Chain A
């Protein structure tokens, strides 16, 4: 029962999978190992898979050339605030659209759904102008408010609504009969049941904010306020050429924490994304 495929087919499939895995795994591995290599060894071929002499000079330079710790903190706190905010906004709205019957519901839902059709790149010029007119350029406000309330959170609301619709209504009805108000029913009954969807929304919201690039380079101009993706590209020499070793060290520090969390919780990560609203 375990294996119906003949041995030869199994070997062929393993071989194919391993070959295909190279471009997925090698860049990350190489980024991390090379960040510890002396500059001269980075371009060596064949590349050594493990650095022979450890060198931390590139890591030191990362912090000397830019306020990298500050930039790291910027990215982390912005992503955290956006994630928590999006969860609050989208679970409330998703619950109401799925469960509460009120006048104007369908029209309002359609209005919100329009947000799914509008890539944030389309509205970047007016958003710049809007934040400019209230003097919030070169602050973190646009990077927090727009993802939390604008187009990205609309997708989250949609996913939450789809998830709440699939939940059985009996528990909530019983709670209502027992006299629980809407907010209490939402908070005590529905929300705990919605953990898988909340997890998936949290993951993709965090990644979205962590990866944001166009918005930071449009809205921010002071290095102390930069976020990580923007900071990574700033490690260049006097001629504008990239300082590879420093860039790789900074890139490793940006990628590693998320990667570690992912490896630890990979099952929840992947299955959460696959089995919640994203499935349609």
Chain B
């Protein structure tokens, strides 16, 4: 026993364990298999109860609510069948909201992954100081989200810092948060700069896992750097590309605080993505029934995208871990 603990101490100091008394081996009915059955179930119980209570029950409820006309202020709760779903199809605002959600998500994912990969490749060069730059590029990840958004909201004012820089190089910057397209672009950029460090770090770890011999061999064969990147790097890190793209797509569909703070969905509905619209319907207009219908729609979109991406792994992921 002491030998064993010493072994562990090689990596980490074992703390004295309360209740860690050695149990004598028991025989008979109380077999080790039975004990495992009980221990296993007890270990997973908190997580299981939590999942049932705070994930699956609400998911069931949201479907149930979506079949009701439910105005919290008027205190009405009437079963209306699929009326809310018909309203969904006829909602004149919804196509715009979905288009915004699409542009926002696609823009965010493409920009995020491309920048993350670029930064990772740049920092993967054998240069001095890359650890410092890695820290700098990662730092927005740990800056409080709303604080970050407030600062950018300030910089993007008509007379803010971004236009100051634009003016210094002779450009007349627009009022970023007041134009439809520039507002959407601003939210995307603010969000990408905030979070790209996470994907960058994942890409860096993947790049460092690519065997150097492959590049050596390619160089001997006379392959250009671009060919090496396309034919060696990208295929070998494709599992990471898949993982980061799933995380980023689902993350893009959840963006709320940035929009609430920067644009409140405006101007008009040009930055009203589905989550923000759902929040408005449920908690500003008190339409819990219709809000639930929008929640179901959001869930179906996330589910579909995850399944599609997972299926696609066979096509473009080079090898599976």
Identify which of residues 66-111 in chain A touch chain B, using a CB-to-CB cut-off of 8 Å.
Answer: 88-90, 92-93, 95-97, 100-105, 108, 111
Binary flags per residue of B148-179, CB closer than 8 Å to A gives 1, else 0? 10111111010111001001100000000000
A189 within 8 Å of B (CB atoms) = yes
- C-alpha spacing A119/B153, complex, angstroms: 26
Binary flags per residue of B268-306, CB closer than 8 Å to A gives 1, else 0? 000000010011001100001001100110110011001
In the complex, the answer to whether A174 meets B4 with C-beta atoms within 8 Å is yes
Q: How many residues of A contact B (CB 8 A)?
A: 118
Of B14, B54, B197, most buried by chain A (CB within 10 Å of CB) is B54
Mostly helix, strand, loop or mixed at chain B's interface?
A: helix
14 contacts between A and B (CB under 8 A): A14-B127, A20-B122, A46-B164, A90-B47, A102-B39, A102-B41, A112-B44, A123-B58, A213-B260, A229-B144, A247-B150, A269-B142, A270-B138, A274-B204
Query: Which chain A residues lie closer than 8 Å to B303 at the CB level?
Result: 117
In the complex, the answer to whether B201 meets A207 with C-beta atoms within 8 Å is no
- C-alpha spacing A186/B14, complex, angstroms: 12
Query: Which chain A residues lie closer than 8 Å to B139 at the CB level?
Result: 24-25, 28, 259, 262-263
B61 within 8 Å of A (CB atoms) = yes
In the complex, the answer to whether A270 meets B151 with C-beta atoms within 8 Å is no
Partner of A13, one of B8, B21, B122: B122
Provided the pairs A95-B43, A121-B254, A171-B8 are in contact, do residues A259 and B142 lie with their beta carbons within 8 angstroms?
yes
- C-alpha spacing A94/B157, complex, angstroms: 47
B117 within 8 Å of A (CB atoms) = no
Provided the pairs A119-B302, A188-B17, A211-B145 are in contact, do residues A111 and B48 lie with their beta carbons within 8 angstroms?
yes
- C-alpha spacing A250/B36, complex, angstroms: 51
B59 within 8 Å of A (CB atoms) = yes
A2 within 8 Å of B (CB atoms) = yes
Identify which of residues 179-207 in chain A touch chain B, using a CB-to-CB cut-off of 8 Å.
Answer: 179-184, 186-189, 192-193, 195, 207
Partner of A122, one of B150, B243, B260, B299: B299
A57 within 8 Å of B (CB atoms) = no
Query: Which chain A residues lie closer than 8 Å to B143 at the CB level?
Result: 28, 255, 258-259
Nearest A residue (CB) for B137: A24
In the complex, the answer to whether A270 meets B155 with C-beta atoms within 8 Å is no
Question: Least Cβ distance of A219 to chain B in Å?
Answer: 10
Nearest A residue (CB) for B1: A178
Of B49, B118, B125, B160, most buried by chain A (CB within 10 Å of CB) is B125
Nearest A residue (CB) for B50: A149
Query: Which chain B residues lie closer than 8 Å to A120 at the CB level?
Result: 254
Query: Which chain A residues lie closer than 8 Å to B298 at the CB level?
Result: 119, 121-122
Mostly helix, strand, loop or mixed at chain A's interface?
A: helix
- C-alpha spacing A171/B142, complex, angstroms: 36
In the complex, the answer to whether B135 meets A126 with C-beta atoms within 8 Å is no
In the complex, the answer to whether A23 meets B193 with C-beta atoms within 8 Å is yes
B126 within 8 Å of A (CB atoms) = yes
Query: Which chain A residues lie closer than 8 Å to B14 at the CB level?
Result: 188-189, 192
Partner of B146, one of A2, A184, A211, A280: A211
Interface contacts beyond A27-B140, A178-B1, A275-B205: sample of 9 additional A-B pairs, CB < 8 Å, sorted by A: A21-B137, A26-B161, A42-B154, A149-B50, A174-B4, A180-B20, A180-B22, A183-B39, A244-B154
The A/B interface has a contact count, at CB < 8 Å, of: 343
A169 within 8 Å of B (CB atoms) = no
- C-alpha spacing A275/B321, complex, angstroms: 14
- C-alpha spacing A114/B133, complex, angstroms: 37
- C-alpha spacing A233/B262, complex, angstroms: 10
In the complex, the answer to whether A195 meets B44 with C-beta atoms within 8 Å is no
Binary flags per residue of B223-266, CB closer than 8 Å to A gives 1, else 0? 00000000000000001100100000010011011001100000
Provided the pairs A127-B54, A192-B14 are in contact, do residues A112 and B48 lie with their beta carbons within 8 angstroms?
yes
Binary flags per residue of A238-280, CB closer than 8 Å to B gives 1, else 0? 0000101001101110110011001100110110011100111
Provided the pairs A115-B51, A255-B147 are in contact, do residues A121 and B278 lie with their beta carbons within 8 angstroms?
yes
Identify which of residues 140-181 in chain A touch chain B, using a CB-to-CB cut-off of 8 Å.
Answer: 145-146, 148-151, 153-154, 157, 171, 174-175, 178-181
Query: Which chain B residues lie closer than 8 Å to A186 at the CB level?
Result: 43
In the complex, the answer to whether A280 meets B50 with C-beta atoms within 8 Å is no
In the complex, the answer to whether B17 meets A101 with C-beta atoms within 8 Å is no
A4 within 8 Å of B (CB atoms) = yes
Binary flags per residue of B173-205, CB closer than 8 Å to A gives 1, else 0? 000000000000000010001000110011011
Of B39, B143, B253, most buried by chain A (CB within 10 Å of CB) is B143
A65 within 8 Å of B (CB atoms) = no
Partner of B253, one of A14, A101, A119, A126: A119
Question: Least Cβ distance of B109 to chain A in Å?
Answer: 15
Query: Which chain A residues lie closer than 8 Å to B56 at the CB level?
Result: 111, 114
Nearest B residue (CB) for A91: B43
Query: Which chain B residues lie closer than 8 Å to A275 at the CB level?
Result: 205
- C-alpha spacing A141/B28, complex, angstroms: 45
Query: Which chain B residues lie closer than 8 Å to A187 at the CB level?
Result: 17, 19-20
Identify which of residues 52-74 in chain B touch chain A, using a CB-to-CB cut-off of 8 Å.
Answer: 53-59, 61-62, 65
Question: Least Cβ distance of A82 to chain B in Å?
Answer: 12
- C-alpha spacing A119/B44, complex, angstroms: 22
B13 within 8 Å of A (CB atoms) = yes
In the complex, the answer to whether A213 meets B146 with C-beta atoms within 8 Å is yes
In the complex, the answer to whether B257 meets A46 with C-beta atoms within 8 Å is no
B12 within 8 Å of A (CB atoms) = yes
Query: Which chain B residues lie closer than 8 Å to A50 at the CB level?
Result: none
In the complex, the answer to whether A102 meets B4 with C-beta atoms within 8 Å is no
Nearest B residue (CB) for A189: B8
Nearest A residue (CB) for B22: A179
